[in-house]
Structure 1
Amino acid sequence: MSAKIELLLRLDAEEELERRQEGDDEFSENYDDARLWLPEGVELPEVLPAGLRALYALTAHPQFGDLRFSSHHDFWPQPLIDSAGEVIDAGNTLTIGRAEDQSIVLDLDTDTVFIFDFLYFRHGLDSGFVLRCDSVAEFVSTVALGPRYPYIHGPHETWREPWWLTDPWYIYLKELGFA
Protein backbone atom coordinates (compact mmCIF):
# COMPACT_ATOMS: atom_id res chain seq x y z
CA MET A 1 0.00 0.00 0.00
CA SER A 2 2.63 2.53 1.05
CA ALA A 3 4.90 1.88 -1.92
CA LYS A 4 2.02 2.29 -4.39
CA ILE A 5 0.81 5.55 -2.83
CA GLU A 6 4.35 6.92 -2.66
CA LEU A 7 4.80 6.06 -6.36
CA LEU A 8 1.56 7.89 -7.23
CA LEU A 9 2.82 10.93 -5.34
CA ARG A 10 6.24 10.81 -7.07
CA LEU A 11 4.57 10.48 -10.49
CA ASP A 12 2.26 13.40 -9.71
CA ALA A 13 -0.59 11.11 -10.70
CA GLU A 14 -3.26 13.57 -9.58
CA GLU A 15 -2.07 16.12 -12.11
CA GLU A 16 -1.76 13.45 -14.82
CA LEU A 17 -5.37 12.35 -14.39
CA GLU A 18 -6.56 15.98 -14.34
CA ARG A 19 -4.65 16.58 -17.59
CA ARG A 20 -6.34 13.55 -19.14
CA GLN A 21 -9.75 14.77 -18.02
CA GLU A 22 -9.23 18.20 -19.56
CA GLY A 23 -8.00 16.69 -22.83
CA ASP A 24 -10.66 14.01 -23.28
CA ASP A 25 -14.30 14.97 -23.89
CA GLU A 26 -15.54 11.43 -23.17
CA PHE A 27 -13.73 11.42 -19.81
CA SER A 28 -15.31 14.78 -18.91
CA GLU A 29 -18.78 13.62 -19.97
CA ASN A 30 -18.66 10.40 -17.94
CA TYR A 31 -16.80 11.61 -14.84
CA ASP A 32 -17.12 14.87 -12.95
CA ASP A 33 -13.93 14.36 -10.96
CA ALA A 34 -10.30 13.64 -11.66
CA ARG A 35 -10.57 10.11 -10.17
CA LEU A 36 -7.62 10.57 -7.80
CA TRP A 37 -7.13 12.78 -4.81
CA LEU A 38 -4.25 12.45 -2.36
CA PRO A 39 -4.47 15.21 0.26
CA GLU A 40 -1.72 15.66 2.81
CA GLY A 41 -1.67 13.01 5.53
CA VAL A 42 -2.89 13.37 9.10
CA GLU A 43 -2.28 11.49 12.33
CA LEU A 44 -5.21 9.38 13.52
CA PRO A 45 -5.96 8.34 17.11
CA GLU A 46 -4.22 5.20 18.39
CA VAL A 47 -7.61 3.52 18.97
CA LEU A 48 -7.98 3.05 15.20
CA PRO A 49 -6.31 0.10 13.44
CA ALA A 50 -2.67 0.48 12.38
CA GLY A 51 -3.47 0.01 8.68
CA LEU A 52 -5.97 2.86 8.69
CA ARG A 53 -3.53 5.07 10.58
CA ALA A 54 -0.80 4.21 8.04
CA LEU A 55 -3.07 5.11 5.10
CA TYR A 56 -4.12 8.43 6.63
CA ALA A 57 -0.53 9.28 7.53
CA LEU A 58 0.26 9.05 3.81
CA THR A 59 -2.91 10.75 2.59
CA ALA A 60 -5.94 11.89 4.56
CA HIS A 61 -9.32 10.89 3.08
CA PRO A 62 -8.04 9.90 -0.38
CA GLN A 63 -10.08 9.14 -3.48
CA PHE A 64 -9.16 6.28 -5.80
CA GLY A 65 -11.61 6.20 -8.71
CA ASP A 66 -15.05 5.44 -7.28
CA LEU A 67 -13.61 4.80 -3.80
CA ARG A 68 -13.76 7.86 -1.57
CA PHE A 69 -12.45 7.61 1.96
CA SER A 70 -14.06 9.98 4.46
CA SER A 71 -12.32 12.55 6.58
CA HIS A 72 -11.55 10.91 9.92
CA HIS A 73 -13.95 13.39 11.51
CA ASP A 74 -16.72 11.85 9.40
CA PHE A 75 -16.23 8.17 10.33
CA TRP A 76 -19.44 6.86 11.84
CA PRO A 77 -20.87 3.64 13.24
CA GLN A 78 -23.55 2.36 10.91
CA PRO A 79 -25.63 -0.74 11.60
CA LEU A 80 -25.72 -3.09 8.63
CA ILE A 81 -29.13 -4.39 7.62
CA ASP A 82 -30.42 -7.28 5.56
CA SER A 83 -33.19 -7.23 2.94
CA ALA A 84 -35.86 -7.44 5.67
CA GLY A 85 -34.42 -4.42 7.48
CA GLU A 86 -33.02 -6.55 10.30
CA VAL A 87 -29.66 -5.55 11.77
CA ILE A 88 -26.84 -7.89 10.82
CA ASP A 89 -24.44 -8.65 13.65
CA ALA A 90 -21.28 -7.78 11.73
CA GLY A 91 -19.20 -6.75 14.71
CA ASN A 92 -18.03 -3.33 15.82
CA THR A 93 -18.20 -1.52 12.47
CA LEU A 94 -17.26 1.96 11.36
CA THR A 95 -18.11 3.43 7.96
CA ILE A 96 -14.92 5.01 6.62
CA GLY A 97 -15.91 5.88 3.07
CA ARG A 98 -18.09 5.34 0.02
CA ALA A 99 -17.98 3.45 -3.22
CA GLU A 100 -20.69 5.50 -4.93
CA ASP A 101 -23.93 4.31 -3.24
CA GLN A 102 -22.19 1.64 -1.18
CA SER A 103 -20.29 1.98 2.09
CA ILE A 104 -16.66 1.15 2.84
CA VAL A 105 -16.85 -0.40 6.29
CA LEU A 106 -14.14 -1.32 8.78
CA ASP A 107 -14.70 -3.95 11.47
CA LEU A 108 -12.77 -2.51 14.42
CA ASP A 109 -12.54 -5.91 16.14
CA THR A 110 -10.94 -7.82 13.25
CA ASP A 111 -9.52 -5.01 11.03
CA THR A 112 -11.56 -6.50 8.13
CA VAL A 113 -12.59 -3.97 5.49
CA PHE A 114 -15.53 -4.56 3.21
CA ILE A 115 -17.83 -2.82 0.79
CA PHE A 116 -21.44 -3.12 1.87
CA ASP A 117 -24.37 -2.48 -0.47
CA PHE A 118 -27.50 -1.63 1.51
CA LEU A 119 -29.62 -2.15 -1.61
CA TYR A 120 -28.04 -5.48 -2.52
CA PHE A 121 -31.40 -7.19 -3.02
CA ARG A 122 -32.33 -4.61 -5.68
CA HIS A 123 -29.02 -5.25 -7.43
CA GLY A 124 -29.55 -9.00 -7.59
CA LEU A 125 -26.93 -9.84 -4.99
CA ASP A 126 -27.39 -12.53 -2.34
CA SER A 127 -25.72 -10.46 0.36
CA GLY A 128 -24.79 -6.86 1.07
CA PHE A 129 -21.14 -7.87 1.46
CA VAL A 130 -19.82 -7.01 -2.00
CA LEU A 131 -16.10 -7.37 -1.41
CA ARG A 132 -14.03 -8.19 1.67
CA CYS A 133 -10.36 -7.85 2.69
CA ASP A 134 -8.55 -8.83 5.88
CA SER A 135 -7.03 -5.38 6.45
CA VAL A 136 -6.96 -1.76 5.30
CA ALA A 137 -3.55 -2.34 3.71
CA GLU A 138 -4.88 -5.29 1.70
CA PHE A 139 -7.99 -3.32 0.67
CA VAL A 140 -5.97 -0.35 -0.55
CA SER A 141 -3.28 -2.45 -2.24
CA THR A 142 -5.53 -4.98 -4.00
CA VAL A 143 -8.79 -3.07 -4.46
CA ALA A 144 -8.24 0.70 -4.52
CA LEU A 145 -4.81 0.33 -6.17
CA GLY A 146 -5.00 -3.14 -7.62
CA PRO A 147 -6.60 -5.84 -9.73
CA ARG A 148 -9.75 -6.18 -7.59
CA TYR A 149 -10.94 -2.63 -8.36
CA PRO A 150 -13.41 -3.85 -11.06
CA TYR A 151 -15.32 -5.76 -8.36
CA ILE A 152 -16.18 -2.77 -6.14
CA HIS A 153 -19.72 -2.65 -7.52
CA GLY A 154 -20.34 -6.39 -7.38
CA PRO A 155 -19.66 -9.41 -9.57
CA HIS A 156 -19.09 -8.80 -13.27
CA GLU A 157 -22.09 -10.91 -14.24
CA THR A 158 -24.41 -8.34 -12.58
CA TRP A 159 -23.37 -5.68 -15.11
CA ARG A 160 -24.67 -5.52 -18.69
CA GLU A 161 -21.66 -3.48 -19.76
CA PRO A 162 -18.16 -3.75 -18.29
CA TRP A 163 -17.95 -0.24 -16.75
CA TRP A 164 -14.40 -0.87 -15.49
CA LEU A 165 -12.99 -1.10 -19.03
CA THR A 166 -13.71 2.60 -19.60
CA ASP A 167 -13.07 3.83 -16.05
CA PRO A 168 -10.06 6.19 -16.31
CA TRP A 169 -8.85 5.14 -12.87
CA TYR A 170 -8.80 1.44 -13.79
CA ILE A 171 -7.13 2.24 -17.11
CA TYR A 172 -4.45 4.15 -15.21
CA LEU A 173 -4.00 1.28 -12.74
CA LYS A 174 -3.38 -1.06 -15.66
CA GLU A 175 -0.89 1.36 -17.22
CA LEU A 176 1.06 1.44 -13.95
CA GLY A 177 1.04 -2.35 -13.74
CA PHE A 178 -1.02 -2.28 -10.53
CA ALA A 179 -3.97 -4.13 -12.08
Structure 2
Amino acid sequence: MTADHQHTMRAKIELLLQRDAEEELDRRQEEDDEFSEIYDDGRLRLPAGVELPEELPAGLRVLYALTAHPQFGDLRFGSHHDFRPQRLIDFAGKVIDAGNTLTIGRVREQSIVLDLDTEAVFIFDFLYFRHGLDSGFVLRCDSVAEFISTVALGPRYPYIHGPHETWREPWWLTDPWYIYLKELGFA
Protein backbone atom coordinates (compact mmCIF):
# COMPACT_ATOMS: atom_id res chain seq x y z
CA MET A 1 0.00 0.00 0.00
CA THR A 2 2.86 2.41 0.77
CA ALA A 3 4.21 2.06 -2.77
CA ASP A 4 0.80 3.01 -4.17
CA HIS A 5 0.62 6.09 -1.94
CA GLN A 6 4.17 7.06 -2.93
CA HIS A 7 3.26 6.72 -6.60
CA THR A 8 0.06 8.77 -6.11
CA MET A 9 1.89 11.42 -4.07
CA ARG A 10 4.58 11.74 -6.73
CA ALA A 11 2.06 11.91 -9.60
CA LYS A 12 -0.05 14.58 -7.88
CA ILE A 13 2.95 16.78 -7.03
CA GLU A 14 4.35 16.42 -10.54
CA LEU A 15 0.95 17.44 -11.97
CA LEU A 16 0.89 20.53 -9.72
CA LEU A 17 4.37 21.47 -10.92
CA GLN A 18 3.46 20.89 -14.60
CA ARG A 19 0.37 23.07 -14.24
CA ASP A 20 2.24 25.89 -12.46
CA ALA A 21 -0.34 25.50 -9.70
CA GLU A 22 1.57 27.73 -7.29
CA GLU A 23 1.39 30.65 -9.72
CA GLU A 24 -2.26 29.89 -10.52
CA LEU A 25 -3.31 30.08 -6.88
CA ASP A 26 -1.25 33.28 -6.39
CA ARG A 27 -3.02 34.78 -9.43
CA ARG A 28 -6.41 33.85 -8.03
CA GLN A 29 -5.54 35.46 -4.72
CA GLU A 30 -4.52 38.71 -6.42
CA GLU A 31 -7.72 38.81 -8.50
CA ASP A 32 -10.21 37.88 -5.76
CA ASP A 33 -10.68 40.41 -2.95
CA GLU A 34 -12.54 37.91 -0.76
CA PHE A 35 -9.71 35.39 -1.16
CA SER A 36 -7.06 37.93 -0.12
CA GLU A 37 -9.18 39.15 2.84
CA ILE A 38 -9.41 35.64 4.28
CA TYR A 39 -5.90 34.43 3.40
CA ASP A 40 -2.94 36.76 3.67
CA ASP A 41 -0.50 34.21 2.31
CA GLY A 42 -0.29 31.80 -0.60
CA ARG A 43 -2.10 28.47 -0.42
CA LEU A 44 0.55 26.41 -2.20
CA ARG A 45 4.35 26.46 -2.04
CA LEU A 46 6.52 23.90 -3.82
CA PRO A 47 10.18 24.86 -3.28
CA ALA A 48 12.88 22.90 -5.09
CA GLY A 49 13.59 19.50 -3.57
CA VAL A 50 16.42 18.45 -1.27
CA GLU A 51 17.93 15.16 -0.24
CA LEU A 52 17.16 14.01 3.31
CA PRO A 53 19.21 11.64 5.49
CA GLU A 54 18.66 7.91 4.92
CA GLU A 55 17.50 7.37 8.50
CA LEU A 56 14.27 9.26 7.80
CA PRO A 57 11.28 7.32 6.39
CA ALA A 58 11.21 6.73 2.63
CA GLY A 59 7.94 8.63 2.11
CA LEU A 60 9.37 11.76 3.74
CA ARG A 61 12.54 11.46 1.65
CA VAL A 62 10.47 11.13 -1.56
CA LEU A 63 8.32 14.14 -0.62
CA TYR A 64 11.33 16.34 0.12
CA ALA A 65 13.13 15.18 -3.03
CA LEU A 66 10.12 16.49 -4.98
CA THR A 67 9.65 19.67 -2.93
CA ALA A 68 11.43 20.79 0.22
CA HIS A 69 9.23 22.20 3.02
CA PRO A 70 6.03 22.44 0.92
CA GLN A 71 2.78 24.14 1.83
CA PHE A 72 -0.58 22.66 0.85
CA GLY A 73 -3.37 25.00 2.02
CA ASP A 74 -3.15 25.15 5.82
CA LEU A 75 -0.57 22.34 5.94
CA ARG A 76 2.95 23.78 6.22
CA PHE A 77 5.90 21.44 6.31
CA GLY A 78 9.07 22.73 7.90
CA SER A 79 12.59 22.82 6.59
CA HIS A 80 14.31 19.54 7.38
CA HIS A 81 16.75 21.57 9.49
CA ASP A 82 13.80 22.52 11.73
CA PHE A 83 12.53 18.99 12.43
CA ARG A 84 12.47 18.57 16.21
CA PRO A 85 11.65 15.78 18.66
CA GLN A 86 8.10 16.25 19.96
CA ARG A 87 6.73 15.27 23.37
CA LEU A 88 2.97 15.02 23.27
CA ILE A 89 0.97 16.01 26.35
CA ASP A 90 -2.61 15.54 27.46
CA PHE A 91 -4.97 18.14 28.97
CA ALA A 92 -3.35 17.71 32.41
CA GLY A 93 0.16 18.25 31.05
CA LYS A 94 1.17 14.59 31.33
CA VAL A 95 3.37 13.18 28.58
CA ILE A 96 1.58 10.77 26.26
CA ASP A 97 3.73 7.83 25.25
CA ALA A 98 3.38 8.16 21.50
CA GLY A 99 6.71 6.68 20.46
CA ASN A 100 9.73 8.37 18.93
CA THR A 101 8.09 11.46 17.44
CA LEU A 102 9.33 14.36 15.36
CA THR A 103 7.50 17.56 14.45
CA ILE A 104 7.74 18.04 10.68
CA GLY A 105 5.20 20.81 10.15
CA ARG A 106 2.26 22.87 11.32
CA VAL A 107 -1.46 23.25 10.69
CA ARG A 108 -2.02 26.68 12.23
CA GLU A 109 -1.44 26.03 15.96
CA GLN A 110 -1.45 22.25 15.55
CA SER A 111 1.60 20.09 14.86
CA ILE A 112 2.21 17.61 12.03
CA VAL A 113 4.03 14.81 13.79
CA LEU A 114 5.92 11.80 12.43
CA ASP A 115 6.38 8.66 14.51
CA LEU A 116 9.84 7.50 13.48
CA ASP A 117 9.24 3.96 14.77
CA THR A 118 6.04 3.23 12.83
CA GLU A 119 6.31 5.94 10.11
CA ALA A 120 2.75 7.06 10.98
CA VAL A 121 1.95 10.75 10.53
CA PHE A 122 -0.66 12.59 12.52
CA ILE A 123 -1.94 16.04 13.31
CA PHE A 124 -1.79 16.73 17.03
CA ASP A 125 -3.72 19.57 18.67
CA PHE A 126 -2.20 20.51 22.02
CA LEU A 127 -5.31 22.57 22.84
CA TYR A 128 -7.74 19.80 21.93
CA PHE A 129 -9.71 20.19 25.16
CA ARG A 130 -10.44 23.85 24.29
CA HIS A 131 -11.64 22.79 20.85
CA GLY A 132 -14.08 20.22 22.23
CA LEU A 133 -12.08 17.19 21.09
CA ASP A 134 -11.66 14.04 23.17
CA SER A 135 -8.03 13.61 22.14
CA GLY A 136 -5.19 15.64 20.68
CA PHE A 137 -4.91 13.20 17.78
CA VAL A 138 -6.91 15.01 15.09
CA LEU A 139 -6.10 12.90 12.03
CA ARG A 140 -3.75 9.95 11.45
CA CYS A 141 -2.21 8.16 8.45
CA ASP A 142 0.11 5.16 8.32
CA SER A 143 2.81 6.96 6.30
CA VAL A 144 3.95 10.31 4.95
CA ALA A 145 2.99 9.25 1.44
CA GLU A 146 -0.54 8.34 2.56
CA PHE A 147 -0.83 11.67 4.44
CA ILE A 148 0.21 13.65 1.37
CA SER A 149 -1.85 11.70 -1.17
CA THR A 150 -5.07 11.48 0.90
CA VAL A 151 -4.95 14.56 3.14
CA ALA A 152 -2.71 17.33 1.73
CA LEU A 153 -3.63 16.43 -1.86
CA GLY A 154 -6.81 14.49 -1.34
CA PRO A 155 -10.33 14.11 -0.03
CA ARG A 156 -9.37 14.08 3.67
CA TYR A 157 -8.13 17.70 3.62
CA PRO A 158 -11.39 19.03 5.20
CA TYR A 159 -10.61 17.05 8.38
CA ILE A 160 -7.27 18.72 9.18
CA HIS A 161 -8.90 20.94 11.82
CA GLY A 162 -10.97 18.16 13.37
CA PRO A 163 -14.37 16.58 12.78
CA HIS A 164 -16.92 18.57 10.80
CA GLU A 165 -19.28 18.58 13.80
CA THR A 166 -16.89 20.89 15.67
CA TRP A 167 -17.28 23.67 13.07
CA ARG A 168 -20.26 26.01 12.88
CA GLU A 169 -19.38 26.97 9.31
CA PRO A 170 -17.90 24.51 6.77
CA TRP A 171 -14.58 26.40 6.32
CA TRP A 172 -13.34 23.89 3.72
CA LEU A 173 -16.05 24.91 1.22
CA THR A 174 -14.47 28.38 0.86
CA ASP A 175 -10.84 27.31 1.24
CA PRO A 176 -9.17 28.10 -2.12
CA TRP A 177 -6.85 25.11 -1.72
CA TYR A 178 -9.72 22.66 -1.23
CA ILE A 179 -11.62 24.23 -4.12
CA TYR A 180 -8.53 23.73 -6.30
CA LEU A 181 -8.16 20.12 -5.14
CA LYS A 182 -11.74 19.49 -6.24
CA GLU A 183 -11.11 21.19 -9.61
CA LEU A 184 -8.16 18.85 -10.18
CA GLY A 185 -10.21 15.82 -9.20
CA PHE A 186 -7.96 15.13 -6.21
CA ALA A 187 -10.78 15.57 -3.67
Is the shorter-chain TM-score for this pair beyond 0.5, marking a shared fold? yes
Structure 1 position 150 matched with structure 2 position 158:
yes
Equivalent of residue 137 in structure 1, options 132, 135, 145: 145
Q: Which of residues 78, 81, 87 in structure 1 aligns to 2:86? A: 78
Cα deviation for residue 78 of structure 1 reads 1.3
Out of 88, 100, 111, the position equivalent to 1:103 is 111
The one of 99, 120, 123 equivalent to 2:128 is: 120
User: What does the per-residue CA deviation read over 1:83-115, in whole Å, with 9 as the maximum and x for residues that have no partner?
Assistant: 110000000000000001100000000000000
Q: Report SS of the residue matched to 1:105.
A: strand
Identity in percent: 88
Q: CA deviation at 1:121?
A: 0.3
Instruction: Using the TM superposition, give the Cα deviation of residue 138 of structure 1 relative to its aligned residue in structure 2, in angstroms.
Output: 0.2
Relative to the length of structure 2, the TM-score reads: 0.95
Match of 2:4 in 1: none
1:178 Cα deviation from its structure 2 partner:
0.2
Correspondences of 1:1-179 after superposition (within 5 Å)? 1-179=9-187
Q: CA deviation at 1:174?
A: 0.2
SS of alignment partner, residue 28 of structure 1: helix
- TM normalised by structure 1 equals 1.00
Q: Which runs of 5+ in 1 are unaligned?
A: none
Point out 4+ residue stretches in structure 1 off by more than 2 angstroms: none
Alpha-carbon distance in 2 for matches of 1:133, 1:176: 22
Deviations 1:104-152 (A, max 9, x none): 0000000000000000000000000000000000000000000000000
Q: Secondary structure at the match of 1:170?
A: helix
- Three-state SS of the structure 1 residue aligned to 2:105 is strand
Matches of 1:101 and 1:83 in 2, distance apart? 16
RMSD: 0.3
Deviation of residue 33 (structure 1)? Answer: 1.2
List gaps (5 residues or longer) in structure 2.
1-8
Aligned partners of 1:41 and 1:59: how far apart in 2?
A: 4
Separation in 1, partners of 2:161, 2:57 = 25
Paired AA for residue 136 in structure 2: G
